[in-house]
Amino acid sequence: MPHHGYHHGGHREHKSRDSERRSGNNHGGSNNSGNNSTHSLKNYSIWVANPVSFVAQTPQQDPKSPHITLKLTDDTNSPEADINVKSTSQDSRLVYWINNAFVHPITQQLESLPLGQKVLTPSNGQPSPLALDFLRTSPALLDLSAGTILPATGNDTIESTLSTILTTAIDQKAKVYLWGQAYNDSNSESGIHDIHMNQGNTGNFTNDVYSDGSFLVQFEDHWEAVFLAFADQETPTDDETGDPTADAKAFDQTLSSSSS
């Protein structure tokens, strides 16, 4: 993996996109080896599990950021995953890429992982080989120019698309691989959120490189991949901090909105 002067940019007291949803709860990864003051997503992890069931929030239930809550089992824990499904304002419009025939060398590495959470800790100035970066992972995980912006008006949602993928995964007892920030709440709930791009943010949201969230589904005969971001996130980003560069443009400047 090429070296980019890599380090995590978490020295700023910024927040992740999903942190407010769990404010008041006690964040703490189920594996403390990922906790250090220089990692903006302190428990950036991959969680390997089998999907059990899911429920989709309506905008009325969570006006700010409706999610699908995916219940999982890894034979030891029963974690949950929070997945964004709808844009709720002009500034939080969702961008998505869905690949129903995902082919990438990383899947060979994933197949050997046991069920459970693995904190993706950098080593010797290099990111974990399993860490994802929408802009830097090589070969590329996705074609950024092929993203679709979900409008913030009406009932536009990717809930139906994701529901089809997840229902099939449950029925076929598929395995899911989720990247994001792991948490253990004070009420003993554990899981993973920030399952979306975690760089290119402006304002006081956290940025980092090799810390993007996503999820893959391993079926018996193929893989499917879902990548999410927000329309106000900008690319390209700095190779060390994940902050937008001086010439960066937001997705809402480079992509078109489209109902799906």
Domain membership of residue 125 (yes or no) is: yes
How far is residue 166's CA from residue 252's CA, in Å, rounded to a whole number? 28
Q: CA dist 124 to 5, 76, 136, 141, 229, Å? A: 11, 31, 18, 24, 29
Domain interval for residue 30? 19-254
Residue type, 99: N
pLDDT for residue 17: 67
Give the pLDDT confidence score for residue 53 in this predicted structure: 98
Per-residue pLDDT of the chain (260 residues; tens, 9 = 90+): 333 334 333 333 456 666 555 543 433 333 333 333 233 577 999 999 999 999 987 767 777 777 899 999 999 999 999 998 876 666 778 899 999 999 999 999 999 999 999 999 999 989 999 999 999 999 999 999 999 998 876 556 788 889 999 999 999 999 999 999 999 887 878 999 999 999 999 888 889 999 999 999 999 999 999 999 999 999 999 999 999 999 999 999 999 655 44
* Residue 81 contacts residue 70 (beta carbons within 8 Å): yes
Question: Cβ distance 45 to 182 under 8 Å?
Answer: yes
| d(C-alpha 5, C-alpha 241), whole Å | 10
Task: Note whether residue 51 is domain-resident.
Answer: yes
In a domain, 1, yes or no: no
Strand partners, 225: 99, 216
- Residues 185-204: tens digit of each pLDDT: 878 789 999 999 999 998 88
Stated pTM of the model: 0.84
CA dist list (Å): 179 to 68, 110, 120, 252: 15, 12, 9, 24
Residue 61 within any structural domain of the chain? yes
**Quick one: pLDDT at residue 13?**
43
pLDDT of 20 reads 53
In one-letter notation, the amino acid at residue 152 is A
- Give the Cα separation of 11 and 132 in Å (integer): 20
Structural domain total, the chain: 1
260 within domain boundaries: no
Does residue 2 sit within a domain? no
Query: Does the residue 14 lie in any domain?
Result: no
Does residue 197 form part of some domain? yes
pLDDT tens digits, one per residue of 42-68: 799 999 999 999 998 776 777 777 789
The candidate with the shortest Cα–Cα distance to 209, out of 29, 40, 57, 74, is: 40
